[in-house]
Chain A
Amino acid sequence: MTISEHLNEFSSGDREDFLSLVNRLRSLSMPAVSPQLTDRILAAVKCEAERDETPSRHFLPSAFSSYRFRKWMSRAAILVLLLALAASILWKSGDPTSPLPNDLDWIASLQEQDGSWSPSRAGGCEAYRPALTALAALALASRDPASDTVQSACRALISMQQNDGSFGQKGRVQSYNQSITAFALAALLPTHNGLRPALEKAVNRIAYEQTQSGGWDYEDGSQGNTALTAWNVRMLSLAERQGIAEARLPLRKGLRWLRNVMHDNGTVVYHRGGQISQSESLRALTAHAFLTAGASFDGLPLLGKRIIRELSSSSSESKPADSYRDYAKVIAFRAAGERTEADTVRKAWHPNAKADTWGEIGGRLYSASLFALADAR
């Protein structure tokens, strides 16, 4: 049966009314598709097809999930427990803030048996365990991406992911954990292809969390904030370059959102329609997103450089220690090709977890990881 046949079944009065209604509906004009749509779709499909052809390497060979392996693991667990107990006693006897000759060695020494990092062991907040593990893994990967510590960290990140693709406990901390951890998954993927399923789930989760206007926020009911959106845009750009086709759409929408929070004079706002933010980290992150994630979009790199020009004139020396700000400025200046400016910020930066603005959240692990990451190329 079709609508025409169905209309014939009605009484004459109803039939006339409904027929006129149907004709009125059919008069609705439709917008034409944009000329670039076909290319956009085919580019996304090509990306997907290339991904299919990439051979997959898994972290865990099937033997690792065998009964024999699990039995061996349960015995090893007792030994690990004893070692961990001994380590914690030794740890407590030392000073967690004492400087170490090499921050990367210090970060590696804090890795837990399960491959993660516990922020509370270095003065941070435990709720940020996924994000801090991600940052520590990225920092160590800048020295040797194939090292055992990074391999183990990758396995820890996979195990921390929930079925819906999210990381960390529900609430405000989840958005932060999600962005940073997904960013690390995307950055580590080229050397750890076993992360691909976790990254796909994380990207889908981030796409799901995106607001209609294209931003992301910590709170439900908001249309997005610039910091979180910049992180997610940078992550989606990395993921897209790794062949994750699902990243393409949210990336484009995210960039569009970021464009709308920037003023022509190079300043940005934290929320769309809000006051101009004085935060240097916010401006630096936005600039970095335009210069890297927006590199293939007309005009966005120029906007990034415009923000950088405003950033260049401001100095951080007399301001409170802020590893997040300094990290953002170094990577933004580098992305803009402003090496002298980047080196100036880098040299003036002395990680000090106790005085750091984010000390109580991330502790020394946070500042040490960002400090190491700022040197990563």
Chain B
Amino acid sequence: MSALAPLHLTDMASPALSPDDSSLSAAVSISPSDSENLSPDELELLSKLEEQNRLLEADSKSLRSVSGSCRTNVTSPGPPPLDQDSWELWGRIVTHWEEWTRRKEKLLKELIRKGIPHHFRAIVWQMLCNATDMPVKKQYADLLKMSSPCEKLIRRDIARTYPEHDFFRGQDSMGQEGLFNVMKAYSLIDREVGYCQGSAFIVGLLLMQMPEEEAFCVFVRLMQEYRLRELFKPSMAELGLCIYQLEYMLQDQLPELNLHFRSHCFHTSMYASSWFLTLFLTTFPLSIATRVFDIFIYEGLEVIFRVGMALLTVNQTELMQLDMEGMSQYFQKVIPHQFDSCPDKLILKAYQVKYNPKRMKRLEKEYAAIKSKEMEEQIEIKRLRTENRLLKQRIETLEKLQNDPRVTEELVSHLESELEQSRLREAETLGALKEIQEKVVELEKVSVQLAIQNDIS
């Protein structure tokens, strides 16, 4: 059993209520109500965990002075053999799932943060995202018989997803076939998203743990309920939001590093896009990425922000000394393997990061407002462009007229004859007017004479 973040059960009981959201910095304590729910075995387990945490924290403090990477005496790459205690404990958790999720949620959360034992991952992941009994599972076989417009695109990426992993090696490997099937099936039930690069790494991880149909169901759940669908939509708008939120955390918590990034035009999206799109599966070796994924499937995208900020915090000093290129190399080469031998430390660091859900929510609104304003401006720009284009066309037509000498002569002579005609018409009209005026005068005379005659008679 591996250790991880210090136990702060009071804080975790209601993260939303913690006053400053600096959540995990308080003392280790267990509230009486928590203890009541736990059996003696579990209490013993808790105290073991606490002891491990204490040691780990002490170790991590000594680590701080060393350059970020793990200088560790824990040398156990790969999953450690499962001891009897853990086996029994997780066995109990799985059999009494309802009870655990309802009454021992905090302890469960803590255990998950310490890593779900390999043998239990398939079932626990499915239960955690509530994918054990999905109607869509029955469709799966039929979906495989259909063809999808995304097939070609999916094919192109299959051999380029975990190519170094034995399970996916070779065109006829189980892994490649299953991956293609699940990606295709998903693209058929969600035409809007279809297939998006990045998602195959998530499905690939699922396939390493469980059969196709089940991986498919879990993936559907993750897409629907873990913001993943929004991340992978054609607009990828959610990615923009995640980057915006992470940038804010960076600015808030590591202002100097943020300034350094800015002065080197090192944009957040350059290093963090893949963190969100593949949940660190393309950053870390699988043994570590899977630990992050354990937490993700219980707690959601928050852990990605936490791990990301932890990486930035741990590496701040080194990054500050590098230029853009140096930093990008550092992100590509150094950071992925820093925690190879001590994944627990990464998780511990992640839970030392301040995370304020309310503020994140506010940032989301802010971002939506910025985006809708941008959209309006885009529409306005489009309108202006069209208008501009039409005006340009008119100018061109007029210029053509102006520059063509034949047209000009024709135009002038045309105008001249028109002028002549209208002058003639004017003369005619004037003549007619004169005649009419004369007639009016005559008639007036006649009418006066008539009036006089009337008076006389």
Tell whether A and B belong to one assembly: no
> B-contacting residues of A (Cβ < 8 Å)?
none
